[in-house]
Amino acid sequence: FSKKLKWLNHTLPDGLHCSWDLTCKHRLHPSARTMDVAMLNSDALPSIATVVQGGWGLFRVPGQGQMVDRYHQYDRVQTLRCPPVHAIRIQESSGYCGTVIRPQDPYSPYRFFCYQLPDARSYIDADLVVPVTDFCFGKDVVLFSCPRYNSNNAINPLYMSLGENSGGLRALNVQNFPQSDALRVEMTCNHDKHVAFGHRNGQVSLLDLRASRTIC
């Protein structure tokens, strides 16, 4: 997204070339969510949240008739410096942008930040007690997928309310959750009843949040 000339010829360890501000994505797991697109404005122009070197940025496609030169194809709305970002997502209906931060110290917990767009001046944050693989937004809630086991202890998916009295991070009460690691999580369109998990072994499980079991 940023095309300064001095960044054009950055060489990665495997010989590939890319812009310097995007080299951080080369070090992430192939399944990491490094960007998300949402319609945050009434003028039907998409906004893009993306992981960049040293933090994350929010960019907006210029409207019709706006000047665009060869080096700046997007309007920068906001950029924030922070430790390495592992995943980033936007929720259109609320204007939230969430990020999962991976600690540089291997003994420190992952952290979750939820910013209010577009200025990102206010946020909610929480320590994640286990390494998470993905997250998604529901109605006033955020859900996390994570490895099935951590230090030989079984782990259920995690969730956190985004309301004023969130109560912190909690585990979902699931009685028959699959044994394979959950790498992906998606909320269904109604945003309040069903959530799907994609597992390392190719399995997809569907969880009914109104019951303490998976339904398929």
- pLDDT tens digits along 144-169: 998 888 878 888 888 888 876 666 78
Q: Is the pLDDT of residue 213 over 80?
A: no
pTM of the shown model: 0.78
pLDDT, mean over the chain: 78
Return the pLDDT at 71: 46
- pLDDT tens digits along 71-95: 455 566 778 888 888 889 998 888 8
- What are 127's strand-pairing partners? 111
Q: Is the pLDDT of residue 176 over 50?
A: yes
In this prediction, residues 58-74 reach a mean pLDDT of 59
In the numeric block, the tokens 């609320």 are attached to 94
For 150, the token pair is 């951590």
In this prediction, residues 11-27 reach a mean pLDDT of 70
Distance CA 101, CA 124 (A): 13
Return the pLDDT at 76: 65
Q: Residue 200, SS3?
A: coil
Strand 75-81 versus strand 55-60 pairing type: antiparallel
Per the CB < 8 A criterion, the answer to whether 192 and 209 are in contact is yes
**R_g of the chain, CA atoms, integer Å:** 18
In this prediction, residues 2-10 reach a mean pLDDT of 46
First to last CA, the chain: 40
Return the pLDDT at 98: 92
Q: Is the pLDDT of residue 117 over 70?
A: yes
